[in-house]
């Protein structure tokens, strides 16, 4: 005889009245596509830098990690993405110890390198497999949805337009446009108001445990963690998601959308 737990695990979960989605590394392959564009940019500048892209790639990777690991740089950088790209590139160029380059020459090179990167950034991004179909699925069934994305107004709006995301959502809330973002409770309240639901009837779905799981849980929402890179929950995590998925595409299968 199956245990009650096994039985309930097989049953579809009730569909929430509203779902709040994160954008980067939740719906779009932001990190993976960034790695591709950094690599392609390094290839385009191989001759000028005097090193094969394969040699600059790991330096740029380390530079990105260094840049975004610092909370102050993270906030400054996500609200001014061009500056973040210049600083990441310049830090990487300094690490290379290229002979005979002045600081001014390196700064100029970092500026042009970053511009090349920016020119190819959005077109390089893709929906994660099944993410667009999941949005269509919920939209067609009348589930209210909001998009909550932290970051630079221009860069995030460009993604929203490129992927025609407006059509799915009751609200598109961009940190750089509002002047505040996750985990500020005000942005979640704005999303709930736009969807016309209370917190208990909403899910929040995203890859950032603090922003899209812990903060919404504190307000009474269900927090769904997207472990897109299959890293697993950190062993010492104090944040416990209500649900963990690898892809947003798993959600329509789990939910009983006949009972919206």
Question: Minimum CB separation from Mg ion for residue 149, in Å?
Answer: 8
Q: Which is nearer to Mg ion, 96 or 217 (CB)?
A: 217
Query: Quick one: which of 16, 24, 183, 252 contacts Mg ion (CB under 5 A)?
Result: 24
**How distant, in Å, are the alpha carbons of 34, 89, 142, 149 from that of 17?**
33, 44, 8, 20
Question: Minimum CB separation from Mg ion for residue 211, in Å?
Answer: 8
d(C-alpha 159, C-alpha 102), whole Å: 36
Dihedral, CA of residue 45, residue 49, residue 51 and residue 53, to nearest 10: -30
Q: Which is nearer to Mg ion, 22 or 87 (CB)?
A: 22
d(C-alpha 36, C-alpha 33), whole Å: 5
Q: Which is nearer to Mg ion, 49 or 134 (CB)?
A: 134
Q: Which is nearer to Mg ion, 90 or 147 (CB)?
A: 147
Stretch that binds Mg ion, among 17-25, 122-130, 176-184, 186-194 (CB under 5 A): 17-25
What DSSP state is assigned to residue 3?
-
Query: Quick one: which of 19, 22, 205, 245 contacts Mg ion (CB under 5 A)?
Result: 22
Give, as ranges, the residues between 155 and 194 that touch Mg ion (CB under 5 A): none
CB burial of residue 46 (10 Å; 0-12, 13-18, 19+) = middle
Question: Minimum CB separation from Mg ion for residue 76, in Å?
Answer: 18
Beta bridge partners of 244: 225
Q: Which is nearer to Mg ion, 59 or 243 (CB)?
A: 243
Asked if 80 interacts with Mg ion (CB under 5 A), we say: no
Give, as ranges, the residues between 199 and 228 that touch Mg ion (CB under 5 A): 207
**How distant, in Å, are the alpha carbons of 17, 18, 23, 191, 221 from that of 201?**
6, 7, 21, 12, 7
Q: Give the SS3 label for residue 105.
A: helix
Q: Which stretches of the chain bind Mg ion, using CB under 5 A?
A: 22, 24-25, 207
């Amino acid at each position: 005889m199956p245990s009650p737990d096994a039985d309930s695990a097989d049953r579809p979960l009730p569909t929430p009245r509203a779902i709040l989605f994160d954008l980067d590394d939740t719906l779009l392959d932001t990190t993976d596509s960034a790695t591709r564009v950094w690599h392609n940019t390094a290839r385009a500048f191989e001759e000028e830098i005097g090193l094969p892209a394969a040699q600059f790639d790991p330096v740029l990777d380390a530079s990105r990690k260094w840049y975004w690991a610092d909370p102050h740089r993270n906030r400054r950088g996500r609200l001014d993405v061009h500056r973040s790209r210049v600083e990441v590139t310049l830090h990487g160029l300094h690490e290379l110890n290229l002979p005979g380059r002045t600081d001014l020459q390196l700064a100029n090179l970092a500026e042009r390198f970053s511009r090349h990167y920016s020119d190819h950034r959005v077109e390089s991004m893709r929906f994660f497999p099944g993410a667009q179909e999941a949005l269509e699925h919920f939209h067609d069934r009348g589930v209210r949805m909001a998009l909550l994305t932290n970051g630079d107004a221009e860069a995030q709006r460009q993604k929203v337009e490129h992927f025609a995301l407006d059509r799915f959502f009751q609200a598109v809330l961009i940190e750089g446009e509002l002047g505040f973002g996750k985990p500020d409770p005000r942005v979640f309240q704005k999303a709930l108001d736009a969807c016309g639901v209370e917190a208990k009837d909403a899910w929040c779905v995203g890859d950032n445990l603090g922003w899209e799981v812990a903060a919404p849980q504190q307000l009474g929402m269900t927090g769904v963690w997207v472990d897109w890179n299959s890293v697993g929950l950190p062993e010492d995590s104090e944040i416990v998601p209500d649900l963990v998925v690898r892809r947003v595409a798993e959600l329509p299968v789990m939910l009983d959308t006949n009972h919206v």
